[in-house]
Chains A and B, each alone.
Chain A
Amino acid sequence: MALALLAAPGPVLGHAALIDVMETRAVTIHARYDTGQPLAEAQVAVFAPDDPRTPWLTGRTDADGRFSFVPDGREGRWAIQARQAGHGAMGYITWGAAEPGEATMLALASPAATDGLQRLVLAACVVWACISTALYFRRRPAGHKGAR
């Protein structure tokens, strides 16, 4: 009788792993040289609006120079820095608007820009849009913000 009770099926409590899946807005940066070459595996640091000196998130771009993150809801100007092999750039995005924001990745080292005409062409090529986009992601436990 006792063995039968122990073997009887019943609810399992306490250690179930759950995943909520939802759609959200995120920020994606695309870091590249003005030649078009991506900043692959570049160091990325993200700074929140109310603490602009301390990285809120760090990580690396992928092979195509892209990096995505979901701001934690603090509204205002977020700053994103990408660096690789002595080249660096800052980008900014204002977060909190109802519509997807836009940002521009600024100022990659550009030794090729030698005169006014060429510079305008290169500037037009290097400026890119960073569009908040909807994507699926897995919700992470609180306190894991250091991971991409």
Chain B
Amino acid sequence: MTQRHVVSTVIAAATMLALSGGAVAAADGKLVLFANGEDLATDGFVGRKLTKDGWELHFDHVFATVDDLVAHQTEPPYDAEAGGEPAATVSVAFETGGPVTLDLAAAGDDGRVRVADAAAPEGHYNALTWSAVPAPGGDWAGQSMVFIGTATKDGRSVPFTLTSADTHEYTCGEYVGDERKGFVTAGDEADLEITFHLDHIFGRADKPADDPMNQEATGFDAFSDGGTQAISLAGLHIGHVGEGHCAVSYR
């Protein structure tokens, strides 16, 4: 857990203690945290959704290692554009026992990967903080994200493995999607979601070349030699909460 998360969690815990007159509030429900890479991770960049430079991508694996997962009730709601620390009144840490590696290409039928759950006091968890960190062990130790798959263009297929060792710290506001999320009530469970937008890395052929996302995205041409190559993700806004934005910093 990073220093900023320790500080925010301690502040939130102190606030809860003060509000409850010294007794820690009971955990009334459960929060379940999911992650996904949308259909671009499971189905690939296919059809109209080729990369910005016209490559079709299929992923065997999209590994992402995450840590420091904390859901917050904030007042006022967190403004990811303004950045800074969320004004948390309640914070709930997902105890994962350290960094956990997810395969976003192996999502379930609902397109999501279950990350962790935690007992949570009632309320609306309208902010989420988390980090993508280098994996401490395993086949891809030292890498925070790894993309393994095959790229195809003009009849040429290129097996690739792209590795990133970047650490990214995200502070996100409320989930934005088909429904609002994060409302915990007594005896019930609610879910939250980390959403990786892979088109911010590879761009999208079905969007104009001058679209800001395409202008920033790396695309795939730079990796067309295939094999194992390093990719820098610094500066790219990959992590979201549904369609909602996050403040991000890279190390």
Contact = CB atoms under 8 A, between A and B. Distances in A.
Contacts of B212: 33-35, 110-112
B179 A90 contact: no
A106 B77 contact: yes
A33 B235 CA distance: 18
Contact of A83 (B76, B78, B79, B176): B176
B5 interface: no
B200 to A, nearest CB: 5
Interface stretch (A1-9, A63-71, A113-121): A113-121
A100 B100 CA distance: 47
B80 A106 contact: yes
B81 A126 contact: yes
A88 B80 CA distance: 12
Chain B binding surface, main DSSP class: loop
Given A107-B173, A127-B82, A112 B244 contact: no
Interface string A103-136: 0101111111111000100110011000000000
Given A53-B180, A88-B177, A89-B245, A114 B216 contact: yes
B183 interface: yes
Given A33-B212, A107-B245, A111-B213, A123 B174 contact: no
Given A106-B79, A108-B245, A114-B216, A88 B176 contact: yes
Interface string A53-75: 10000000000000000000000
Nearest to B81: A123
Contacts of A53: 179-180, 183
Contacts of A115: 235
A141 interface: no
Interface in B47-68: none
Interface string A86-107: 1111101000000000001011
Contact of B176 (A90, A112, A119): A90
Interface of A: 33-35, 47, 52-53, 79, 81, 83, 86-90, 92, 104, 106-115, 119, 122-123, 126-127
